[in-house]
Structure 1
């Protein structure tokens, strides 16, 4: 049987005609244009979303200050804190400057020692206050003024608080009041309970009047923690005056 003959020319690829080349180029351009349009559309969508988010956060009334929440207040009322804060309601939370709010509260309310202002979406401004703690009471006429560790007078009452250390001094010097607070804070409970009154005429002239007619010449607030153990030892001696102003060379009489 004679094998069929194959025409070599028939098995070769047909040469591309100018029409075929033009069609391929046109198709490639269409694909590139389609990708370009998709890319531009995607960028436009992302940009629109970003602009919308910026508007929502920084300008929209949906995320603006609408209510004020107060925490930690007991000596002052929540209404007092809100009034002092003067929060600009309606301001977008993202642009609200909290520092001036904190400064207004701390400056207007003496019992407030520290203020922390934060925001909480969608519409809350939160004010957390830390109030001062009295270290001693300063007697001023018929009033008893609460003084904290920094020598700040922050409250006044007609009656002394039970168990509080009473101080008599004419000074209004914040530094001296702070020195007195340092002395009082250094006293252990068993010694503090014996203090009837603390007197101070100057930074180097602080004295403690104890029960049973005893007097402690403390001197300045310097080295108060060193003076305490020295005084505790001296109190075991029969004396009425105990001088620990120089803890390295104490004396009694």
Structure 2
């Protein structure tokens, strides 16, 4: 068998003159890791010190916006923002949780870092759609049926909720089946659906049962609404009925396709 030629031996020698490709790649990766490490040392550590160790980016101010009944001082006290701490380490979720727990009047809150020294508390308060008299005070109920605050004076323009305690078997069965909380939510649904012009004149929302809810207006007129179902249709029907019968004292839209009105 003939031996390898001079050219072939030269090619083998040339191919084996440097390190294998895998070894070269490993060396390149090692260089990249070393460079990144140096970058972290020279840039990362000062950055960490800037955010956590320096006095430049610390929580020093708290601002409050969106309050109507609550005062900014009440919100700040409930928030318990850790002043003096690094701003980046302030737990905004914990602040939000504290505010919701301590101030049920708050419906929503956004806790925002305002660099370099501030924490902004953007508050949305609950709005009462009904009130429930309890002793000499009034419990405010929002549009979700949440009883969120007790006040000494009834807010103006908010109708009272009256859960009529009747002894009829149907009313008792309704209360057992749905529970008081569900009946309150049904009343809220009615209050939200009532036309704006009627809502302004509504003094009381009376609940006898799930499908027996009525309105008493400030001038003594009454509206039989029924359940909270088909609220939009009932609102349109009531508006038209009141225009057609301006002297009527009683309106019935419990079945919106067959409304009725009467003078007494």
Distance 1:118 1:191, change over 3 A: same
Give the Cα separation in 1 of the matches to 2:109 and 2:36. Answer: 46
Distance 1:213 1:70, change over 3 A: closer
2:185 to 178, 181, 199: 178
Q: Does 1:127 align with 2:121?
A: yes
The 8 Å contact of residues 180 and 206 in structure 1, kept in 2 or not, is answered as yes
Q: Does 1:112 align with 2:106?
A: yes
TM-align CA RMSD: 3.0
Give the Cα separation in 2 of the matches to 1:202 and 1:105. Answer: 36
TM-score by length of structure 2 reads 0.68
Residue by residue, what CA displacement relative to the aligned partner does 1:155-211 show, whole Å, maximum 9, x if unpaired? 333333333323223799444333322222222232224423211133322111235
Match of 1:233 in 2: 240
The 8 Å contact of residues 253 and 260 in structure 2, kept in 1 or not, is answered as yes
TM-score by length of structure 1 reads 0.71
Distance 1:43 1:150, change over 3 A: closer
Give the Cα separation in 2 of the matches to 1:212 and 1:85. Answer: 45
Distance 1:53 1:240, change over 3 A: same
Structure 1 residue 143: Cα displacement = 2.0
Structure 1 residue 111: Cα displacement = 1.6
1:1-253 alignment, distance < 5 Å: 44=38, 47-169=41-163, 173-210=180-217, 213-235=220-242, 236-237=244-245, 240-252=249-261
Secondary structure (helix, strand or coil) at the match of 2:101 reads helix
Distance 1:45 1:119, change over 3 A: same
Give the Cα separation in 2 of the matches to 1:61 and 1:122. Answer: 10
Secondary structure (helix, strand or coil) at the match of 2:70 reads coil
The 8 Å contact of residues 152 and 174 in structure 1, kept in 2 or not, is answered as no
Give the Cα separation in 2 of the matches to 1:195 and 1:69. Answer: 38
Secondary structure (helix, strand or coil) at the match of 2:240 reads helix
Give the Cα separation in 1 of the matches to 2:62 and 2:180. Answer: 36
User: Which runs of at least 4 in structure 1 moved beyond 6 Å after TM superposition?
Assistant: 40-43
The 8 Å contact of residues 167 and 198 in structure 1, kept in 2 or not, is answered as yes
Q: Structure 2: which 5+ runs fail to align?
A: 1-33, 165-174
Distance 1:165 1:201, change over 3 A: same
Paired residue total: 214
Match of 1:6 in 2: none
